[in-house]
Amino acid sequence: MIYLDNSATTKPFPEVVDSFVAVATNYFANPSSLHGLGMKAERLLAQAREQIAAMLRVKPNEIVFTSGGTEANNFAIKGVAWQYERRGRHIITTKIEHPSVAEPCRQLEELGFEVTYLPVDREGRVSVEQVERALRDDTILVSVMHVNNEVGTVQPIEEIGALLSRYPKTLFHVDRVQGISKVPLDLKQAGVDLCTISAHKFHGLRGAGLLYVREGVRLAPLIAGGGQERQLRSGTENVAAIVAMAKALRLAMERYERDIGRLQALKDEWLEALSAIPDIEINTPRDGVAPHIINFSLKRGVKPEVFVHELEKNGIYVSTTSACSSKKKAPSKTLLAMGLGEDRAERGIRISLSFDNSREEIAPAVAAIKQAIKTLSEVTE
């Protein structure tokens, strides 16, 4: 198997699975319970919070555990909107955000909020000047992703944060789901108020994530109940998955320190090999991008979803748009926003690497890609 769909989800590290099993087996009590078993689970939860906070260089009380990136993004956007709506009802985001940002924004529009969707340039990047022009007295939130999940473009988060430091009434949310452990970002230095992370994107388990909430920022809770997570996110915490997330983040960041150069070199080799295929067009920019995402478009007549299944016959796994949108068979909104045209946007394919991928996979995978294009082209001719 050659797995090239790591932006959709990563394979959990074996040590992470072991941690989950050990905690789920031996520390299964509710961390809110008063008895000894509950207190042991609570201590594990607190320890995981401290470890994650240290790795992110934030305070433990700024970490709110969630079920994953989608919940955290919804919490950030709706939580700000409902908490600060008396201050203003205007939100700024971009045209290339993940659905878990775009859809909450559209829901808020139905409730009377106004959302400005900023365009991006040919490389999929929003400009700080556009953000500044869109700011208004009633702007309560700017939400910009760190790394685009389809083409890998890194957004100017530090520059936007510097701009917003002059607008203290406007909060800054960053969806860092694709950037964590791949592209560095100091949340404090960048002036980020809210930041989303999801465990299964860095070899953790699905069902665990977090929202960084800068000290002093207030949010209206989405989920009411027992008042867990400092009254911000009710529901019994998934201690085993959270402990596993802490371990996954530590291991992933160790891999970053050790292997980021190798991963970038691997991506460069992939780009060189793919660029030599006449029947595809590379969509991922060359500069200012993450080291693990490559997007290209197929020749006309080759349907992306059929191409994905054709590669699967050889044990090679890639994707079309983001995993959350891949079954909708709609053109990539990111490629459309980049101005690449609807035809090219309908034929996008994403390869996404992890630190576990190797050079030895490139030749057989590229050969299979060439053969799949040839086979499917003959079918349509």
The reply to whether 282 and 305 lie within a common domain is yes
The reply to whether 122 and 175 lie within a common domain is yes
Angle formed at CA 205 by CA 200 and CA 208, multiple of 5 degrees: 80
More confident residue, 379 or 32: 32
pLDDT at 330: 82
**Does residue 195 carry a catalytic annotation?**
no
Q: Considering its fold, how many domains does the chain have in total?
A: 2
Question: How far is Cα of residue 161 from the mean position of the Cα atoms in its chain?
Answer: 19
Minimal CA–CA distance to 361: which of 273, 286, 264, 252?
Answer: 273
* Mean of pLDDT over the chain: 95
Cβ-Cβ contacts under 8 Å for 84 (sequence gap 6 or more): 140, 141, 171
pLDDT digits (tens, 9 = 90+) for 234-290: 999 999 999 999 999 999 999 999 999 999 999 999 999 999 999 899 999 999 999
pLDDT at 38: 94
The reply to whether 269 and 234 lie within a common domain is no
Consecutive H or E run containing 104:
helix 99-110
The stretch 60-70 carries a mean pLDDT of 97
The reply to whether 287 and 225 lie within a common domain is no
pLDDT digits (tens, 9 = 90+) for 340-362: 999 999 999 999 999 999 999 99
The answer to the question of residue 381 being in a domain is: no
Final residue belonging to a domain, choices 225, 249, 273 = 249
- For residue 253, give Cα distances in angstroms to 8, 142, 149, 153, 340: 19, 28, 19, 20, 34
Final residue belonging to a domain, choices 249, 273, 299 = 249
The reply to whether 271 and 244 lie within a common domain is no
Q: For the whole model, what pTM was predicted?
A: 0.94
pLDDT digits (tens, 9 = 90+) for 163-204: 999 999 999 999 999 999 999 999 999 999 999 999 999 999
DSSP assignment of 196-221 equals EEEGGGTT--TT-EEEEE-TT-----
What domain range is 279 assigned to?
1-6+258-376
The reply to whether 117 and 244 lie within a common domain is yes
DSSP assignment of 139-180 equals EEEEE--SB-TTT-BBP-HHHHHHHHTT-TTSEEEEE-TTTT
The answer to the question of residue 139 being in a domain is: yes
Backbone angles phi, psi at 8, to 5 degrees: -80, -50
The answer to the question of residue 36 being in a domain is: yes
Catalytic residue chosen out of the listed positions 37, 253, 260, 324: 324
- State how far the Cα of 101 lies from the Cα of 88, in Å rounded to an integer: 19
The reply to whether 41 and 190 lie within a common domain is yes
* 130: CATH: 3.40.640.10
- State how far the Cα of 148 lies from the Cα of 251, in Å rounded to an integer: 23
The reply to whether 230 and 262 lie within a common domain is no
The reply to whether 283 and 371 lie within a common domain is yes
The answer to the question of residue 220 being in a domain is: yes
The answer to the question of residue 147 being in a domain is: yes
37: pLDDT strictly greater than 50: yes
Final residue belonging to a domain, choices 207, 225, 249 = 249
The reply to whether 369 and 307 lie within a common domain is yes
Minimal CA–CA distance to 366: which of 276, 298, 262?
Answer: 276
The reply to whether 192 and 94 lie within a common domain is yes
- State how far the Cα of 373 lies from the Cα of 318, in Å rounded to an integer: 14
The reply to whether 162 and 262 lie within a common domain is no
Minimal CA–CA distance to 285: which of 94, 177, 125?
Answer: 125
* 301: CATH: 3.90.1150.10
Structure tokens at 42: 């609570």
Structure tokens at 297: 């478009």
Structure tokens at 164: 């917003």
